[in-house]
Chain A
């Protein structure tokens, strides 16, 4: 289980994660919005369609690709949340995007 250690009173923004409203400290990564709301599946694997989730958290592995405001292939660990952002698990695989 992921949790936040923050004790300051950060300014919150509202985002939607797979249709659920989530409040999250402004400036945090999109991945943290997923993880702290318990929705850790970021994308489906290319062939098997199995669930995948963030692995490196530093932009290397591309496991954390999600759809942000309708645009696929966004690395959740590198992007920051913004008020009103729509975040969704990427169900199209990168092979189907290529086609």
Chain B
């Protein structure tokens, strides 16, 4: 029994930041990288399944990205993943979530897991498509925004609950192999002890390239993406002013502001 957990290293902004010269992203020097919050929960869900059945489950964390992503994968190893796989080729740079899904689907075919977990979304890009698009490429059953999950390793189906609008829940039975996107709060992710962090530091991270996954360069990166970022920017801030004083003074100031903003003298 194998669970593949697709994870992403997400970026958070430093207090001060600048954009890249091409204006399409923040300059990497101003980003703090960390494991996507949702992925903590999907990894924990996998570890819980493994613990519940006494261990006959292999958990493989997989991520698409350059060597800096190893840090996020090591965090997964420290928290209970058995193996970590990083997929990278310079041609993959600039992949959108559909291209990433295509790569993950190829990795899933190679690993042949019983379940594939992904986060509902990533905290930096928030496209919320990667997991479900991967299911699309694989042609596997899928469920999004899973908030409760019951599965006995080896069983042909799993039972899950999904969050719907207005506090409603969907209870589904799903055939495996299946792709699930996991919602925050489904469990309480554990912390890694210092011992497991140290052990994780010594474990290998397996590398897969385009060729390993039988993909070609046209299917990934900007070439294989259906959307392209044109620019990233900070919107102009609205202005606010607290008007104080007597009612008459306030009315006077308000009239002045209206005149200013409508261009009347």
**A and B associate in one complex:** no
Chain A contacts to B: CB under 8 angstroms: none
